[in-house]
Amino acid sequence: MRLSRYFLPVLKETPSEAQIASHRLMLRAGMIKQQTAGIYSWLPLGFKVLRRIEQIVHEEQIRAGHIPMLMPTLQPADLWRESGRYDDYGEEMLRIRDRHGRDMLYGPTNEEMITDIFRAHVGSYKDLPLTLYHIQWKFRDEIRPRFGVMRGREFFMKDGYNFDLDYESAMHAYNRHMVSYLRSYERMGLQAIPMRADSGPIGGDDTHEFLVLADTGESEVFYDSAITDLRLGDREIDYDDWDEVAAICKEWTTPYARTDETHDAAQFDALPDERRKTSRGIEVGQIFYFGTKYSEPMGATVQDREGNKVAVHMGSHGIGVSRLVGAIIEANHDDKGIIWPEGVTPFHAGIVNLKQGDAEADAACEDLYAALVSAGLEPLYDDREERAGAKFATMDLVGVPWRITVGPRGMKNGVVELTSRRSGESEELAPELAVTRLKEIYAGHL
């Protein structure tokens, strides 16, 4: 992309309505525009990041054996009357009436609809286990939408639903979700810690939230610092191996990690002083086993091996895709702007031409641009007639992790400058070598 032809409406002024860094930076970098409280347009730069996150979530869900589909945003109220939630959900549900007087709603989640799909098409244990998911817009009429896309009213969420014959199989589905979520966050350059969450009126303790540590998080969290050393890395995971998947979950759930809702001071205080950490956290996902809560009232049953009709065991599992854009920025920024992790960056490298209009400099930039594109990378080329300082400031603000600077002085020696946004360190090298370096850097991310 050439900046002169792009739509990147960066703001000079810091917007006064934004209270936290990610919201300020998303507005300043021209990623989003608020249309009304808690509802945003995703401008081209923001949309690119949203798509990258969505793509990672898809890849990791499919790797875990979960099946993508798409359900509508608008739902008939009758389905929710069957589960009893039409009355229980309260004011967060946006209720709509169509021209025929039928009650509709903008879906805040999809348990009822997926259960309806299941009961229409599945009748035998032979069709189990089954996990279906979609990534779709949701609406919750939050009383206090705030922090930009972090707590929106309309937001983009991955929600998946498992259907299993019994508790053990459903727990394997639960574990698969935990591991695939950990892998997804890691690919996004984030550490999200699974924490025992409050299961509310349903009972049992089979729910975990995933929290990214950040001062601006809405939850208070308590954890054993040992958990922050854990990484999945590039280990091979066989999602069909129940024991292997359970062992990974055990590794991540053994060190103490709780939100204020489930915090147990006695257990926490038993940890050595230096490992006892308190912080704030942003919830970027939650997994949930709820048994037959929906399958029983809605008649989602199958015939088991003995021919008995049994209600299926279910769970639901969500990742806040649009919230993640904000959470990643909270965890990756400095006073100049965003610093995208390589896994989600909207552009892989920025090209800054210090002497726009100079035939030689322009040609060198065009060559670099073409070489990056043919290496499968997406460059952002600042080809505007601007001074160097302004070009650097734009690249820093929008957070491109690697910048290639092309200037007359370097060109005399046949070199360009490759600069890391994160460390600020630069090295001079031949343009071909800069392309090779970037190819290596992004090898695991394309």
Ligand X SMILES: Nc1ncnc2c1ncn2[C@@H]1O[C@H](COP(=O)(O)OP(=O)(O)O)[C@@H](O)[C@H]1O
Which residues make up the interface to Mg ion (CB under 5 A)?
A: 286
Nearest distance from C-beta of residue 420 to Mg ion, angstroms: 35
Please list the residues that pair with 160 across neighbouring strands. 133, 317
CB of 147 to ligand X, least distance (A): 9
Nearer to ligand X, 219 or 225 (CB): 219
Cα–Cα distance for residue pair 352/346, rounded to 1 Å: 16
Query: Based on CB atoms, which residue is closest to ligand X, 152 or 217?
Result: 152
Contacts of 127 (CB under 8 A, 6+ apart): 302
Triad 264, 147, 288: Cα angle to 5°: 45
DSSP secondary structure letter of residue 94: E
Choose from ligand X, Mg ion, none: what does 129 bind? Cβ within 5-8 Å by kind: none
CB nearer to ligand X: pick between 110 and 295: 110
Nearer to ligand X, 46 or 379 (CB): 46
Which of Mg ion, ligand X, none sits in contact with 142, Cβ below 5 to 8 A by type?
A: ligand X
Determine contact, residues 134/70, Cβ cutoff 8 Å.
yes
Cα separation, 185 vs 321, in Å, equals: 11
Q: Which residues contact 416 (CB under 8 A, 6 or more apart)?
A: 364, 368, 404, 405, 406, 410, 428, 429, 430, 431, 434
Q: How far is the CB of 144 from ligand X (least distance, A)?
A: 10
**C-beta of 261 vs 362, nearer to ligand X:** 261
What radius of gyration, in Å, describes the C-alpha atoms of the chain? Answer: 24
State the residues that interact with ligand X by CB under 6 A: 109, 140, 142, 151-152, 155, 157, 283-286, 318, 320, 322-323
Q: Which is nearer to ligand X, 28 or 151 (CB)?
A: 151
Tokens of 424: 């600020």
The gap between the terminal CA atoms of the chain, to the nearest Å, is 18
Cβ neighbors of 150 (< 8 A, separation 6 or more) are 20, 22, 23, 282, 323, 326, 327
Q: Between 150 and 361, name the residue whose CB sits nearer to ligand X.
A: 150
Q: Name which of ligand X, Mg ion, none residue 140 binds, using a CB cut-off of 5 to 8 Å depending on partner kind.
A: ligand X
Nearest approach in angstroms of CB 221 to Mg ion is 14
Q: Where are the alpha helices (DSSP H) in 230-358?
A: 242-253, 265-269, 295-298, 321-331
- Minimum distance from residue 209 beta carbon to Mg ion (Å): 6
User: Which of Mg ion, ligand X, none is residue 284 near (CB under 5 to 8 Å by kind)?
Assistant: ligand X
Amino acid at position 344, single letter:
V
CB of 258 to ligand X, least distance (A): 15
Question: Is residue 325 a contact partner of residue 25, using CB atoms and an 8 Å limit?
Answer: no
- Give the burial string for 146-160 (b: 16+ CB within 10 Å, else e): bbbbbbbbbbbbbbb
The least CB distance from residue 159 to Mg ion, in Å, is: 11
- The site partner of 295 among ligand X, Mg ion, none (C-beta below 5 to 8 Å per kind) is none
Is the Cβ of residue 320 or residue 399 nearer to ligand X in the bound state? 320
CB of 215 to Mg ion, least distance (A): 20
Instruction: Give strand ranges (E) for 140-236.
Output: 154-164, 192-196, 207-213, 219-224
User: Shortest distance, CB of residue 46 to ligand X, whole angstroms?
Assistant: 14
Instruction: Please name the residue that has the structure tokens 């917007």.
Output: 15
Residue 81 parent element (H or E):
helix 77-83
CA angle centred on 423, ends 422 and 428, rounded to 5°: 110
